[in-house]
Structure 1
Amino acid sequence: MELAVQTQGLGKRYGRAWALQDCALEVPAGRIAALVGPNGAGKTTLLHLAVGLLRPDAGEVRVFGRDPRAGTSVLADIGFVAQDTPVYRDFTAAELITMGGKLNRRRWDAALARERLAALGIPPDKPAGKLSGGQRAQVALALALAKRPRLLLLDEPIASLDPLARREFMQALMGAVAESETTVLLSSHLLADLERSCDYLVVLQQSRVQLTGPVDELLETHRTLVGPRAGSEAVAGVAKVVRASHTERQSTLLVQRGDGPIDPLWTEHEVTLEDLVLAHLAEADARVTAEAWGVPA
C-alpha cells in the first residue's frame, strides 16, 4: 500500500507550547481524507509540515516516502490551498494562471485551469480582489489542480463560504479528484460536507491524533446503544465505551464494538460521522482534564 502522507512522532512547538505532538498517522494514496478537530488542535500545523513550510521539532513527516524539506522534487507533487484561499488580489484569474505556469514548469496545465474557471463563469480579466469569496476559492482550487498534483492539501478552504458556494466548491473538487485520482487531505469543521465526500478520517485533538481510518470501517465498528441505566459494569459485545449519557432509568452509549453480539438488553443504532467525531473529541477532552487534575478519566 502506497502512503501519500506518513508521520512518526511528529511534533512542532511554538515557544513552550506544542502545537502538534507525538503525531503518528498514515494516509493511503488514492483517499479523500478528512482532517477534523477543534481550533488549536494542530490541523494547520500538520498541513504546513506536510507541505514543507515548517520544520519539525520532533519526529518526521514523509510525502510519498520523501521529506518535503529535503529537496524540491516532492513539492511538484503537492497542491496546497491555505486558509482564506489566498491569491494575489490585484491579479486577474488569467494573470494568476500565467504566473502559475512560470512557477511550476514540471507539468503545469493552464488549459485545465482556464476550462474549470470558464465552466464556473468566473471572468478571466477581473481582479481576484473583486471576485466573491466563493469565486476566489474556486480560482485557488483551479490553480492548485493545474499543478496536476498527486497530493492536494486543503486547509479549511470553505469555512467562510455560504452554503451554495460550499456545495459548488465541493462538487468541483470531487469532479477533479475523480478525473485525476489525486489524494486529498481536507481540513474542515463542516462535518456534513465531509461525510458526503470523504472516505478516510483523521481526528486531531489536544495536538495528537485521536482516531484514524477508513470512514466506512469506523462507522461499522461504532454503534449507539440505548438500554437500562448502566453503572461501571461491562456490556457484552462492547470493546470500549467512547461516550455515555444517562437519565434516571436509561443510558445512551456510543461504543466501539468488540467480538460477539451486543447484549440483547440494548437497542443498537448506527452512528453518523458527526456522532463519531464529536464523541471521540469529547472523550479526549475528558481524558486531558482528568489527567490535569490527577483523577481517573
Structure 2
Amino acid sequence: MTPVLEAHGLGKRYGRRQALTDCHLNIPQGRVVGLVGPNGAGKSTLLQLACGLIAPTEGTISVLGARPAADAAHLAKVGFVAQDTPVYAGLSVAEHLRMGAKLNPSWDAPLAKRRIAQIGLDPRQKAGRLSGGQRAQLALTIAAAKRPELLIFDEPAAALDPLARHAFLENLMEFVADLGASAILSSHLLGDVERVCDYLIVLSESRVQVAGTVQDLLAAHYRFTGSRGDFTSLPPGVEAIETDNTLSGSAVIVRADGPLPPVGWNVEKIELEELVLAYMTRANSGSVRPASMASEAQR
C-alpha cells in the first residue's frame, strides 16, 4: 500500500537557518498521526512541505504517492487546516460553502450542510463575527467536505478554550471515520495527541527524533531506577534516551530493540508524555541522534 507520506533526507533551509534536517519518514495509510515538538522544531515546515506550499531544499517528499500539489487532482486529495484556521471575515458561512463547491470537484454539499447544522452555525453569519471555536469548525468542515484522502492540521485547536477544543477534536475524529481518511495533527498539547492519535512523530531541533505507532513505541520504552552509577553499562540492545540523577539515585528512560533482558534494577513502563519529553530533552541537550532512531523513523 502506498504510504500516506514518505520522506527521504528531507530538509528545508531559510537563508542560514535550517528549519528541517535529514527527515526520513514512511507513514502508512489509515493512521491518525500526532506530530509533536517544541516551538520552532520544524512542525509547520514539514506540514507546509506536505501540502506543497513550500519546496524542499534537500531530499524528497511524496504524499499519497505523488509530489505534493502535483496537479489539481492531487490537491483535491488533501485537506489542510492551518494554525490560524483561516476563513474570510467578510464572507458568510454559506458563501464559504459555495466557494468550496466551486473550487473542489469532489465537494460533498450534503455533508457540509449537515455539519454546519449540527454545530449550530447560521449560514447567514459572517465568518468575522464567529467565535474562535466556530471558525475552527467552519475551516474543518470546508477541509472535510472536499472528501480528501488526507487531512492535515497545523495546531488548529491551539488557541481554543478546553470546551471548544474538545468539540473540535470530536468532530475531527468523526470526519476521519466517515471519510476513511488518514490525518496528521500537529500539536503541542500532548493530551490531545494521546486522545486521538495512534501514530507519533517527535520532532525537535529540526530533526525527527522518533516515529512509530503509539502502541509499539510505548511497548519498547521503559524506566529503570536504581542507585547513582548503576546505568553506566546497559545490556546489549538497550539504549539510554534520558538519564535523571538525583542525590538519592538515578532514573533512566531506555529503548529496547527486542524483549527486555533480565536486569537488576526496578523496571516500569512509561506514559506517552514521558516518552515525548525524554526525546525532546535529549535533542535539546545536543546529544547525537543514533542511527537506530533514523531507522525507526523510516518504518
* TM-score normalised by structure 2 residue count: 0.92
* Match of residue 246 from structure 2: 247
Q: Distance in 1 between matches of 2:69 and 2:5?
A: 14
* Match of residue 61 from structure 2: 61
Q: Distance in 1 between matches of 2:196 and 2:107?
A: 26
Q: Work out whether residues 243 and 251 of structure 2, in 8 Å CA contact, stay in contact via their aligned partners in 1.
A: yes
SS in 1 for 2:91: coil
* Match of residue 28 from structure 2: 28
SS in 2 for 1:98: helix
Q: Distance in 2 between matches of 1:98 and 1:179?
A: 22
Q: Distance in 2 between matches of 1:248 and 1:238?
A: 28
Q: Distance in 2 between matches of 1:239 and 1:29?
A: 30
Q: How does 1:268-279 map to 2 (within 5 A)?
A: 268-279=267-278
Q: Distance in 1 between matches of 2:47 and 2:285?
A: 26
- Deviations 1:16-68, CA, capped at 9 Å, x for gaps: 11111211111111000011111111111111111111111111110111012
Q: Distance in 2 between matches of 1:171 and 1:237?
A: 43
Q: Distance in 2 between matches of 1:234 and 1:213?
A: 27
Q: Distance in 2 between matches of 1:110 and 1:24?
A: 38
Q: Is 1:43 aligned with 2:81?
A: no
Q: Distance in 2 between matches of 1:176 and 1:69?
A: 22
Q: Is 1:194 aligned with 2:193?
A: yes
* Match of residue 293 from structure 1: none
- Name the CA shift for 1:266/1:232 in 2 (closer, same or farther; >3 Å): closer
Give, in angstroms, the shift of residue 251 of structure 1. Answer: 1.2
SS in 2 for 1:19: strand
* Match of residue 114 from structure 2: 115
Query: Superposition RMSD on alpha carbons, in Å?
Result: 1.7
| Letter paired with 1:182 | A
| Letter paired with 1:107 | S
Give, in angstroms, the shift of residue 77 of structure 1. Answer: 0.3
Q: Distance in 2 between matches of 1:232 and 1:87?
A: 53
* Match of residue 16 from structure 1: 16
Q: Distance in 1 between matches of 2:219 and 2:259?
A: 14
| Letter paired with 1:166 | R
* Match of residue 256 from structure 1: 255
Deviates more, 1:78-87 or 1:116-125: 116-125
Give, in angstroms, the shift of residue 285 of structure 1. Answer: 1.2
Q: Distance in 2 between matches of 1:159 and 1:215?
A: 22
How many percent identity over aligned positions?
48
Q: Distance in 2 between matches of 1:24 and 1:165?
A: 34
Q: Distance in 2 between matches of 1:288 and 1:222?
A: 18
Aligned length in residues: 289
Deviates more, 1:242-251 or 1:38-47: 242-251
* TM-score normalised by structure 1 residue count: 0.93
Q: Work out whether residues 3 and 65 of structure 1, in 8 Å CA contact, stay in contact via their aligned partners in 2.
A: yes
Q: Distance in 1 between matches of 2:287 and 2:69?
A: 33
Q: Distance in 2 between matches of 1:24 and 1:10?
A: 7
Q: Work out whether residues 93 and 122 of structure 2, in 8 Å CA contact, stay in contact via their aligned partners in 1.
A: yes
Q: How does 1:1-297 map to 2 (within 5 A)?
A: 1-104=1-104, 106-231=105-230, 233-236=232-235, 239-287=238-286
Q: Work out whether residues 158 and 169 of structure 1, in 8 Å CA contact, stay in contact via their aligned partners in 2.
A: yes
Q: Distance in 2 between matches of 1:58 and 1:68?
A: 15
Q: Work out whether residues 224 and 253 of structure 2, in 8 Å CA contact, stay in contact via their aligned partners in 1.
A: yes
SS in 1 for 2:247: coil
SS in 2 for 1:192: helix
Q: Distance in 1 between matches of 2:70 and 2:163?
A: 41
Q: Distance in 1 between matches of 2:162 and 2:55?
A: 36
Give, in angstroms, the shift of residue 227 of structure 1. Answer: 2.0
